[in-house]
Structure 1
């Protein structure tokens, strides 16, 4: 079964707030004997299987170019074996064994939760955000809507999901400019595509629901 190494950098570019890659500082300190994780993909995907993330021990480094020994037993990649030599580049590294000094931002992207409507995820678009008081340490208090939902849709709890804030940031990270605004606050996207604060939002009606 032919395989190739997928680019962790490309995956991060496509989903910068949900696909972690090690910082330049961590990558710069990698040396012989260190362990890195690579993404082994299958050229012809079958049954939804898209490869495996496996650990490789570095045996050689020349700037951005590496060689290493596979330390995992692949599940489905029959052409790969534990102990096999693998050539790779910096762009292929999706994790290391070291603590990353910049990992705190990833903790925020992964662990901070928001309520989002399924319509947002289907459209890959959101136009309204409201922040209530958080319910627990992980809850940000934010609810995110596409703006196209009707009351019937929103009254069905199955149409709402509790997800990591990084998913929404992948769609539009301009909200980072006001994401720390205190509850109670609401924002809407204007005709130019920018969010503005709704200063006269009807909180009395919202809180009485």
Structure 2
């Protein structure tokens, strides 16, 4: 079984609100003796779906954005031993032991939850968003629809899921300012692709229907 190190910057670029990587401020603090986490990938995924694992590496040398280190924990599957010497770059580091200055922001992306229709996740797009009063500390009150759902689809609770708000922001982060608006509010995307508030939304019908 062969392995390689994954480029976490590519993974972050594909999902910037759900795949965390350390900030430049954190990277600048790294020094010999620090532990960093890398993603070791199986070059050929096994039949059971195993793709790789995240493991801690202790830094032994720093040269700009390039590092030397030794594996600091025991792998579950990969044929590599604790103490193995490694060369890696800043693009391979997905976690450090340092506190992230933007930690509250990342907590918000991961721990704030919204309701989406399954159609939103399938299409990876949404055209309607509504904020009800939150039900609990981590509930944002936001719901998202693709705009293609019919009445039968909307009446079936099995068609709805709870996901982190980061999942929705990965699709369209133009709503970052909108999601801070207080309940009760509703928005729909216009022909130019911009969300506009629905001033005459039927809240009585929604809340009492």
TM-score by shorter chain over 0.5 = yes
Separation (CA, whole Å) in 1 of partners of 2:104 and 2:175: 19
Matched, 1:6 2:2: no
Matched, 1:17 2:36: no
Q: Give 1:90-129 correspondences, 5 Å limit.
A: 90-129=90-129
Matched, 1:76 2:77: yes
Q: Secondary structure at the match of 1:4?
A: strand
1:15-60 Cα deviation digits (max 9, x unpaired)? 0000001111111010000000000011111232111100000001
Instruction: Note the residue ranges of structure 2 that are not aligned, 5 or more in a row.
Output: none
Q: Secondary structure at the match of 2:130?
A: strand
Matched, 1:177 2:177: yes
Alignment RMSD, CA only? 0.8
Q: Secondary structure at the match of 1:179?
A: helix
Separation (CA, whole Å) in 2 of partners of 1:106 and 1:100: 9
TM-superposed deviation, 1:177: 2.1
Q: Could you tell which deviates more after superposition, 153-162 or 163-172?
A: 153-162
TM-superposed deviation, 1:135: 0.6
1:173-194 Cα deviation digits (max 9, x unpaired)? 0001211111110000111111
Q: Secondary structure at the match of 1:144?
A: strand
Separation (CA, whole Å) in 2 of partners of 1:188 and 1:167: 19
TM-superposed deviation, 1:8: 1.0
Residue 53 of structure 2 corresponds to: 52
Matched, 1:64 2:65: yes
Q: Moved runs in structure 1, 4+ residues, more than 2 A?
A: none
Instruction: Note the residue ranges of structure 1 that are not aligned, 5 or more in a row.
Output: none
Q: Secondary structure at the match of 1:110?
A: helix
How many residue pairs align between the two structures? Answer: 208
Separation (CA, whole Å) in 2 of partners of 1:138 and 1:68: 39
Residue 148 of structure 2 corresponds to: 148
The normalised TM-score by structure 1 is 0.97
Separation (CA, whole Å) in 2 of partners of 1:200 and 1:155: 23
